[in-house]
Structure 1
Amino acid sequence: MRPLQLISILTTTVAVVCSLYAPQPIQRVLAAHFGVGLQTSALFITVALLPLSIAPLAYGLLLERIQARRMLMVSVLGLALATTALAFCDSLRPFLALRFAQGLLIPAALTGLMTYVATHSRPEAVQRSMAFYVAATIFGGFFGRFMAGLLTTAFDWRAPFGAIGLALSACLVLLLSLDPDARARFERIRPSAMPEILRRPAFLRVYLIIFCCFFVYTGLLNFLPHRLASLDSGISEMRIGAAYLGYLMGIAAALTSRRLCRILGGERNAMLAGLALHMTATALFALPWLTTAFLSMFPFCAGMFFVHALAPGLLNSLSDQNRGMVNGLYIAFYYTGGTLGSFLPGLVYARFGWTALVTVLCGMLGLALLLARGLCLATQAQAAPASEG
C-alpha cells in the first residue's frame, strides 16, 4: 500500500468515527434545542449504535460481491450527506432518523476501510497496518468528541456536523487514490453456525465479557456530560469534550496489549488485569470532584481498550472454522452492549442518582470478572475436543 493510500484510509477512518460520537459531549445543548430531557437525549447516541449491533452480520452476504473502493465511496458519500443534513435539523424526529441512517452507513464504511487495509498490505505488514487502523478509530473517537465540544463552544451545535460533513466530502477525493480492484472477501455466513458457536463455553464467556465492558463504557460516557454539569454548572462544552482526552490511552493499550499479555502470563490473567483496572476506574467516577472525573478517564479507557484488544485474538485462536460468524458475533455482542448501555443506565441515573449508576456499572464489571475467572477452564474445555479430533 502506497503512503498516500494509507493516509487516505486513516484520515477517512478518523472522519467516519467522528461522525458517530460527535453528539455525545453536546447532549445538553441538543436537549435544550429540541426541548427534551435526559432520557431522550441519550437517544442521540443510541439510535446510531443500534444498527451497528446487527449490521456487521447482515452485511456479510452483501459484501462478498462488492469492491471495497466502491463500497467506501458510496457509504462515505451517504455519510457526508447525512452528517451535513444534521446541521439543518430543527425538530427531533428528522435528527434521530438521520442518526439512524448514519448508524447504517458507518459499519459499511468501516468494514470497507478495514478490508482495504487487509487486502492491500504486504503479508508481513498487515499487522502493522491494522494497528494503524485501530489507532485511527480510537483517535477518531476522541477527536470527534473534543472537536464537537470546541466548535459548539466557539460557534453553535450545528458547526460540528457541518465540519464533519465537509471533512467526509474531502475524504471522497482522497479515496480516489485507492486502487479499484479490491474485493471484500468474507466467509459466507451460515446462520446454522450461530447456536453451535454460542454453545462453546469459552466463546460465550468472551462475548458476555465484551458485552459487559462496552455496556459500562458507553453507559458512563453517555451520561458523563450531565454529571460534569452537575459538578460545575458553568462548565463549557469545550471542557466536557476535553474530558474525553483519556480516550487516547486506548491507543497505547491497543498497541501494547500483546506485550503486556506475555508479561502478565497469558490472555486470562491479562483480561483479569484489564477488567480490574476498568472496574477500579469506574468506581472512582463516584467521587464528587471534577478533577477526579477527568483523571479517571485515563485508566478507564486503558482498561476497556486493553480487554477489547485481547478478546478478538483469543476468539480467533480458538476457532478453526466459521471465523466470519465468530467475529460477526463478537461485533454484535460488542455493539448490543453499547446500545443498551447508552440508554438503560440513564433510567437508574434519573431515578436514583449518579452513585447508583456507578454502582450498577461496577456490578456489570464484577460479572465480567467472574466470567473471566472461569475463562481458563472454559478454554481448556474448548481445546479438548480439538485435541481429541
Structure 2
Amino acid sequence: MKNQQLIIIIYIILVVFSIMYATQPLQPLLANQFDINMVQASQFTAVIMFSLAIAPIVYGYVLESICPKKMLFIASVILLVTNLILSYSNSYEMFLTIRVIESLVIPAIITSCMSILANSDKANVKYNMAIYVAATVFGGMVGRVVSGFIATQFGWRTVFLSLSIALFLGLFLIRKLSFEGDTNLTKAKISDVIQILKDRRFVLIYLLMFTTFFVFAGLLNILPFRMKELIPDATESQIGLLYLGYGMGIVVSLLSKKIIKLLKGESNTILVGGVIFTLVNLSFFSDNMLFVFFMLFIFCVGMFTVHSVSTGIANSIKQSQKSLTSGMYLTFYYIGGAVGSVVPAMFYHSVGWDFTVILFICALIIIYSLFFIFRNDFKM
C-alpha cells in the first residue's frame, strides 16, 4: 500500500513539474506566435518560480491545517482546467494570466505531495524525500524534452492538451490515496526569520543557492533563443534535447552521500561543485551547439552537486525550526530562479549573449569566493 502511494505521488510530481517547465523549449515559438520579445516569453516560467518562492512563507497563513489529499485533488482539478485553457490561448495576455493562476495552485500540489510522503511512511522519510527530489528533476527534464518533441510533431497546443490528459489520469490516482491526515504548515514569524538570518552560515548558504539557481535557471531559460540565433531552422524537438543533461541531477542527488565522502566533507563538495559549475560557463561562449549540448551535462552535475549538499546543510545547522529553515532555503532558491528567468533575458536582449555569460561567471566567482573564505563556519 505504501509503495502504491509513493508511485501515485511520483506520477503527480512528474506531471506537475512537466507542466511547470513545458514552456521553456517553446519560448521562441510562443514569442513568435504572440509577437512578443524573449523577456516577455521568459515570464511564462518566472511566474511559477516566484510563487514557489513565496509559498513556504505564505501558505502557512493561508491554508492553516488542511487535508493534503483534499488540497491535492482540488488544486489538480484547477490545474487541469487552466492547462486546457492554455491550449486555446490566442494572446500573450491570456497565456500569461493562465500561467499566473497555475503558479498559485502548483505550490499547493507540491506541498500536499511532500506532506503525504513525509507523514504516510515515517520510517522511510529520508528515502521518500530522495525519491521526491529525483522525481522533480526527472519531471523537469521530461517536461522540456517531451514538450519540444510534441510541439514539433503536432503543434504547441497539443503539448498542453496531452499534459491535461496526463493530469486527468492523475485525478483518478489521487482518489486511491489513503492518507487522511492534516498538513500542519509552518507560520513564519518575522522575529524567527530575523533570528535565523543573524546566523552568517544561513545567509551564506541562502545567497549561495540564490546565485547558483539564478545562473542555472537563467542559462536554461535563454538557451532556446541562443540556439535559434545560431541555428534559425532548429526545431522545438532539437531545442528540447538540450535539456537531457538535466537528468544528471537524478544521479547526483541519489549519490550525494558518496560524493561527500569521496571529497572529504560538505564544504569541499560545494566548492568542487561550484568550481565545475563556474568553469563550464566558459564553454558557453562557443558557437558550436553540439559542444554546448555535451557541456550542459557537466553544468548540471556542478549545479546539482551544490544543491543536494546545500539542502542538507540548511536542514542540519539548526536542530529546531527545521521546517522554517528549509522553507527559507526554498524561498531563496526559487527567488533566484524567478529573477534568473527574467534578468538574464533582459541582458541577452540588450547587450548580447557573451556579456550575459560574463555576468553569470562574475556572480559565481563572487559567491563561491565568499563561501571559500568562510568555509570553516560549516565544520560541525
Q: What TM-score comes out, normalization by structure 2 length?
A: 0.97
Q: Deviations over 1:274-301 (max 9, x none)?
A: 1111112222111110111110110111
Tell whether 2:139 aligns with 1:136: no
Distance 2:186 2:283 in 1: 43
Rate the CA distance shift 1:289–1:254 in 2: closer, same or farther, 3 A. Answer: same
**Cα distance in structure 1, aligned partners of 2:367 and 2:249:** 19
Amino acid aligned to 2:231: D
Within-5 A mapping of 1:301-340: 301-340=300-339
What letter is aligned with 2:90?
A: D
**Offset of residue 226 of structure 1:** 0.7
Offset of residue 216 of structure 1:
0.2
Q: C-alpha distance in 1, partners of 2:187/2:216? A: 31
**Residue 23 (structure 1) shift:** 0.5
Q: Which amino acid aligns with 2:192?
A: A
> What is the letter of the counterpart of residue 119 of structure 2?
T
- Residue aligned with 1:177, SS: coil
Question: Which residue of 2 is the match for residue 34 of structure 1?
Answer: 34
* Aligned equivalent of 2:354: 355
Q: How far apart, in 1, do the equivalents of 2:179 and 2:245 lie?
A: 37
- Between the aligned partners of 1:314 and 1:48, the Cα distance in structure 2 is 26
Residue 108 of structure 1 corresponds to which residue in structure 2? 108
> Does 276-285 or 24-33 show the bigger shift?
276-285
Mapped pair 1:56 → 2:56:
yes
Q: 1:84: which partner in 2?
A: 84
Whether the aligned pair in 2 keeps the contact of 1:187 and 1:322 (CA below 8 Å) is: no
Correspondence for 2:20: 20
Aligned residues: 380
- Tell me the distance in 2 between the aligned counterparts of 1:375 and 1:247: 30
Task: Kindly indicate whether the alpha-carbon contact (under 8 Å) linking 2:120 and 2:179 is maintained by their aligned counterparts in 1.
Answer: no
SS at match of 1:235: coil
Q: C-alpha deviations, 1:202-257, integer Å up to 9, x for none?
A: 00000000000110011100000011112211111001001100000000111111
Work out whether residues 210 and 334 of structure 1, in 8 Å CA contact, stay in contact via their aligned partners in 2: yes
**Offset from partner CA, 1:316-369 (integer Å, 9 cap, x none):** 211122222211111110111111111111222122211111111111111221
Deviation at 1:62, TM superposition (A): 4.1
Q: Distance in 2 between matches of 1:9 and 1:118?
A: 12
Aligned to 1:241: 240
CA contact (8 A) 2:57 2:187 kept: no
Matches within 5 A, 1:1-389: 1-123=1-123, 125-379=124-378
Q: Is the contact made by 2:116 and 2:179 (CA closer than 8 Å) also made in structure 1? A: no
Contact 1:70 1:180 in 2 (8 A): no
Q: What is the distance in 2 between the residues matched to 1:68 and 1:306? A: 31
Q: What's the RMSD between the two structures over aligned residues?
A: 1.4
Deviation of the 1:41 alpha carbon: 1.4
Q: Which moves more between the two structures, 47-56 or 370-379?
A: 370-379
Rounded to whole Å, the distance in 1 between the matches of 2:285 and 2:130 is 33
Going from structure 1 to structure 2, the CA distance change for 1:70 and 1:375 (only over 3 Å counts) comes to farther
| Alpha-carbon spacing, 1:366–1:154, altered in 2? closer, same or farther (3 Å) | same
Give the whole-Å Cα distance in 1 for the aligned partners of 2:306 and 2:111. 21
Unaligned runs of at least 5 residues, structure 2: none
Distance 1:351 1:97 in 2: 26
Structure 1 contact 277–303 (Cα < 8 Å) conserved? yes
CA contact (8 A) 2:206 2:332 kept: yes
The answer to which of 88-97 and 201-210 deviates more is 88-97
Q: Residue 386 of structure 1 aligns with which residue?
A: none
Distance 1:259 1:64 in 2: 39
Matched AA of 2:158? A
Task: Give distance in 2, aligned partners of 1:312 and 1:142.
Answer: 20
SS in 2 for 1:165: helix
Q: Distance in 2 between matches of 1:182 and 1:303?
A: 38
Cα distance in structure 1, aligned partners of 2:5 and 2:284: 41
CA distance in 2, matches of 1:188, 1:360: 36
Contact in 2 for aligned 1:188/1:324 (Cα 8 Å): no
Whole-angstrom distance in 2 between the partners of 1:321 and 1:130: 19
Please list the CA deviations of residues 54-93 of structure 1 after superposition, one character each: whole Å capped at 9, or x if unmatched: 1221112345411111111111111111111100110111
Letter matched to residue 118 of structure 2: A
Q: Residue 180 of structure 1: CA displacement? A: 3.8
Instruction: Render the CA deviation track for 1:22-61: whole Å, top value 9, x for unaligned.
Output: 0100111111110111221111212222212212211123
Give yes or no for contact 1:64–1:183 (8 Å, CA) kept in 2. Answer: no
Q: For the Cα contact (< 8 Å) 1:228–1:235, is it kept in 2?
A: yes
